[in-house]
Amino acid sequence: MAALRDGFSMYFLAVVFLLLGLTHSQVEEFPSADNFRRRSFHSATVLGDNLYILGGGASQMSPRFSIPPSNKTLVIPLNEDWNAQTVNSKVQMIDNQKGFNIIRPALWPNGQENRIYSWGGGVRETYPLANETLTNPTLRVFEKASPDGLYGTWSSDRTLPGDSKIKFTQEGSWTSCNGLGFVFGGLTMLNDGSRWRGTASPGLVIYNMTSQTWRNESQVAKKVGRGPNAGNHARGNAVCLPEMGTQGKGIVVFIGGGRPDNSDARDIEPVPMDTVYFYDIGSNDLYSQKTTSEISTPVARQYACAVAAKSSSTPSYEIFFFGGDGEKPATTHVLTIPGFRWFNAGNTGADNPQTRSNHACVVGGKRQMISVGGTQVVGGGEQWVGKDPWVNGIKVFDMVDLKWRNDYKSGAPDYESPAMIKKWYNEGNVAEWDSDAVKNLFTVAEATPPSPPGPNVGAIAGGVAAGWIVLTALVDGLVFWCNQRRRGRAGEAARLRDDQAEEGARWDCDSSATLVNAGPPAEVYTMPTELHNGVDLPHELPANPPGKGHY
């Protein structure tokens, strides 16, 4: 009986520590380099001169192995130098509101308003609070206290989203582009406090930050894929090309991820990397284009990250695509547009390169891609246990010389296309266009405003982070227990192993990797009531929307 009581007590404490975290004096939102193990399930974006990290959590060893969910927004300055070893002293923290313990939320920065909008994501709360969050979803809004500062406050805008069905999703591909927030696809969750079921959520959700209106371009999204699963998408990345396309209104490119099956959302078919899909804002239409490759097309993968950069001296821009669950070790691939050609940038300087997924990437300092967090495997508690070979889980990739470093340089030189890409264009190579309609989107039109002087670098985490790119196109073609809990009393080492597996498995069960059938299920998987995700909730806007509120 005593053993049973001890076992129950340990179980109870594990639940409490996981859901509520340890006291502030015991755990750290940004653990020391020695204490840190892994960071995952977060999203990141850039607003002004700062990198903002929201959601997920960081596993740590002291005072015991734990993975407390983050309830603060972490901020890292980008207008001063730092390195991965000492960045802890630079990190600032902003309190989040109740109900902000989330995983993989979409983040839409708006530089003109000095705001970040956040939508969707998985919810990590005890059941009553989770139920409130899921049944009354809100658009989360962060507003900076001053344009040049980094601090600000989060609030919730309770304007119900959409005059048509808008779903509260997780794991969609997201970005912001010219004042619009995008989420392509994703997964929705239904739960009644004791069980949950997952469904694929087709469509392209667009939020207008100026007019505060929502829409779902479901028919347009169905051009991705074929058959009953057309329009389904999850775990990929999106990048904004703001001055491209019809009337220079911008293009949103979708890369990687997979297509969930309507009959069983656990079945996700990887999307091949030899075809790129993109949405043209000006024509409200979606197109596809085949790619070519230097050596071989990158293998299909999910949970990667992507950013994009544009040089002031060349008409091309490049999308840097890093990691994901389908490649070992994690490698950086570069897609140049308008050439639509893949190049392998390798992993020079990556330090003990291994698989890396569930990370987030942004662009900082003109030519640097900053990768934050990531796990070695997707699923299972072990993904949180092994110490990340990257100090604090951070590494900086120079997008010009294609090398990983620990140092971030705020005054780094301007971005230029890598030498191998310049060489390819200089040899007269162009894209092999799928159609004239696609080709014309990359043709310079007289009505398209010219790019302003100087470099402009944009990013998306897709993940992981959204950003901005200034682009001029080239004529004619340059163009995330399941594992049973085992509690031994054979010593500290055995207890530590059990702690690690238990803590990690709880996070894994919260992921969408174990979704059940979308239709009337033959069986329903019963999950701990404290673990919940998003919910499919259609809402309608009132006939006369209220004033600007937080917008």
Domain formed by 2-514, architecture: 6 Propeller (2.120)
pLDDT in tens, 266-294: 788 999 999 999 999 999 999 999 999 98
pLDDT at res. 197: 67
Cα gap 55→53, rounded to integer Å: 7
Which pLDDT belongs to residue 130?
61
Q: What contacts 481, CB < 8 A, 6 or more positions away? A: 381, 501, 502, 505, 506, 508, 509
Among 482, 345, 342, which residue's Cα sits nearest to residue 401? 345
Per-residue model confidence as pLDDT tens digits over 35-56: 899 999 999 999 999 999 999 9
Q: What is the pLDDT of residue 327?
A: 87
Other Cβ atoms closer than 10 A to 295: 7
**Domain parsing of the chain, residue ranges:** 2-514
pLDDT of residue 189: 73
The tokens of 9 are what?
A: 């007590």
* pLDDT for the residue numbered 451: 42
In the numeric block, the tokens 């998408």 are attached to: 233
Q: Cα-atom radius of gyration of the chain, to the nearest Å?
A: 22
CA 166 to the chain's CA centroid: 20
Q: Which ranges of 341-481 does DSSP label H, i.e. alpha helix?
A: 419-426, 436-441
Please give the DSSP secondary-structure letter assigned to residue 452: P
Which CA distances in Å does 167 have to 42, 226, 535? 20, 22, 8
Residue ranges of the chain with pLDDT lower than 70?
1-27, 99, 124-135, 160-165, 190-197, 378-380, 444-551
